[in-house]
Amino acid sequence: MKRSVALCSMLCALTSVLPVRQAFAAHKPPAAADLAVKDAMGSGQHAFCTHPPKILDGTDQATCPLARETAGCEPLAAACDKQLPPKHEDTTDPPSTPKIPKELGTIAMVLTAAIVLAVLLGLLLPVLLAFLRSRRDDSLRDVAQEKETTPDAAPLLERGPVITDAERLLALANDLAARGQSREALGTYLTASLRALDHRGVIRFARHRTNGEYVRSCADASARTELSSVVREVEEVEFGGHEPSRESIAHVQRSATALVRAAMLAASVVMLALFSAGCDAGSHPPTENDPAGKQLLVDVLERQGFSASYLSGSIGSLPIPQEDDLTPLVVLDLSITKLDEDARSHLLTWVGAGGLVLALEPRADMEDTLAVTSSSSKERDVTVLLDDPYQHEVFTYPARVNVGRKLQLRDRGEKKTDNAQLTREVVATMGLTEDAADDDAYAIEESIGRGAIVTVATADLFTNVGLAHGENAKAAMALVERAFAATREGNLRSYHEHPIVIARPQSGLTPPGNPLSALSQAGLGMGMWHALAAALVLFLAVGVRQARPRPAPPPTRRAFAEHVEATGALYAKARAASHARTILAKYTDERVRQKTTQKLSAGTPEEDPFLQLTGHSAAEYKHLVESSTADEMTELRRMRELRRVLAKLSPVPHSHPEKKDPS
């Protein structure tokens, strides 16, 4: 078997230099991939074997079996041996982990709930108090609102149309100056300068700010000097009544142009910096020495004659290819790139229109989409089959993976797309065999519409360690070529012209349509709603405190009794209700005594006249008054009783009927 493989490799190497295969003419065949790997590893750019990360994460640890079998990866293998956790046979907790009593969890939950409740109360209390206060002040009439509607409140200053773009304003000013409207031109030059500086962020443009304030607050010293000279010239014309001279207009024009151009230049520099930062983020690999990374894949692909890079956008925003478009091959490692629903459906549409996908290690959520079922296998050797349509010969490329995993074909059933020519073929099998078996497949190619998907059971072959192992690179390149060859439409140009893009972990997320969905996608949906609710409550709490008070009703003439009641109401408003009640009680007592004197002088019964007039004996009344005028009197019942006494003595109501009881 090994001999046949070697023979195949040699044959492939030989055929690669022959011009008979037009498609393979511009790039190297898979058989040359091991040389490309050696060259890449020898370049010193890939240090995942010699200088592995100090801490290996889960994906890195998954490469350990291959690392141990790869020549030159001894440091990585040593790191694997050192960091892989020992297997625990028993399921009991390790002794170092202290047992946390369940009660602590309950207490923590109660404490958290109490804290949240306290915070909510702290925020809601001012709102509630303000609401109650506003209800209490319902009697106040909003006279100022009426005043505002009077014609006097109309703005005194006529204003022109507002043009916000500094460049447009500058052009307008130049136009006005050319037409001889010097005064308007000067004002427009100044506005253009202010807009430009506002755009730069060195001043804050507002209708209420004066030119002097703009000059004083300008954060840029050189711009401040220019602006000051513009302001001086403009104000001399605008407020000084001076006629604008040609020199002053030219001077203002120069200064304003310099300010606007400087602002545009600064904005361009910022945009360029941001743009280059964005480009930078898209072109650089995520890490340098990640054993499970794909840097070596990119390097080898480029050495093989392909154009390879990382996908900068999202799967969900891949443009639907047209007939003559150069469709990229997307290497999609599904073990690290999770596709959301939109991206998944877009991917199928994109493939149907001519897209090519190399889908690695499909998880359960993608098995329906790819119509395969993956299961574990004891076999770690795989064989990739690559047929040459011109020579009618099948080349085999053996490879070794970390963990055995195989694919089984599933019927697409109703998911079959209209007008889709479905062709599925096993392109790699488990074990070192050339016989393709549907139930023991390592990779399956499927052409959908004008495009194709090659599904590979594991992503091992395409990782840094996977490519560095033995002859895995040849198998990986063979799978890449199978992906290109999978399409039956014949719409492909030579392979090397098609770019290969490698999806990032975040490429599976469809770009959000708005900031809210972006937050939701980032897992901050609940936090966002909480923050919005808190902001609303805070806004209300602060707004209530900052709200403008409503004016008092216009003063009206009142009787003395109403004044006393109003005084009581004022005390009540000032949270001195007990004091107010005391005053009212004293006042009522005084009135009772006056009335009693009047009644007695008018000839009332002589026998216990007070009892007959009021229904209370003198002693009871004295007690009532004393308890009502006590400092800490809190019972309104006594107060009401006292007022009833007064009512009995007064045939006419002693207070205004519309007024509420101030106490």
Comparison of 185 and 223: residue with beta carbon closer to other proteins: 185
CA angle 167/172/176 to nearest 5° reads: 150
CB 579 → other proteins: shortest distance, Å?
A: 17
CB 135 → other proteins: shortest distance, Å?
A: 15
CB 148 → other proteins: shortest distance, Å?
A: 6
The answer to whether residues 13 and 29 touch, using CB atoms and an 8 Å cutoff, is: yes
CB 158 → other proteins: shortest distance, Å?
A: 7
CB 240 → other proteins: shortest distance, Å?
A: 4
Q: How deeply is 466 buried, as exposed, middle or buried, from its count of CB atoms within 10 A (0-12, 13-18, 19+)? A: buried
Comparison of 136 and 530: residue with beta carbon closer to other proteins: 136
- Length of the chain, in residues: 663
**CB within 8 Å of 587: residues ≥ 6 apart:** 564
**CB within 8 Å of 253: residues ≥ 6 apart:** 173, 174, 177, 189
Comparison of 69 and 167: residue with beta carbon closer to other proteins: 167
Percent helix, percent strand, percent coil in the chain, to nearest 5? 55, 10, 35
CB 542 → other proteins: shortest distance, Å?
A: 13
CA angle 509/514/516 to nearest 5° reads: 90
Comparison of 252 and 639: residue with beta carbon closer to other proteins: 252
CB 180 → other proteins: shortest distance, Å?
A: 15
Comparison of 67 and 186: residue with beta carbon closer to other proteins: 186
Longest dimension (CA), the chain: 143
Comparison of 183 and 261: residue with beta carbon closer to other proteins: 183
Comparison of 98 and 549: residue with beta carbon closer to other proteins: 549
CB 448 → other proteins: shortest distance, Å?
A: 59
Comparison of 241 and 603: residue with beta carbon closer to other proteins: 241
Q: Rounded to whole angstroms, how far apart are CA atoms 297 and 502?
A: 9
Q: At what angle do helices 618-628 and 577-601 cross, to 10 degrees?
A: 150
Q: Rounded to whole angstroms, how far apart are CA atoms 332 and 137?
A: 67
Q: Rounded to whole angstroms, how far apart are CA atoms 379 and 381?
A: 6
Q: Rounded to whole angstroms, how far apart are CA atoms 467 and 462?
A: 6
**Amino acid (one-letter) located at 276:** S
CB 153 → other proteins: shortest distance, Å?
A: 5
Q: Rounded to whole angstroms, how far apart are CA atoms 622 and 609?
A: 15
Comparison of 186 and 386: residue with beta carbon closer to other proteins: 186
Which residues of this protein are in contact with other proteins, per CB under 8 A?
144, 147-148, 152-153, 155-163, 169, 172-173, 183-184, 186-188, 190-192, 206-213, 234-236, 238-241, 545, 548-552
The answer to whether residues 338 and 62 touch, using CB atoms and an 8 Å cutoff, is: no
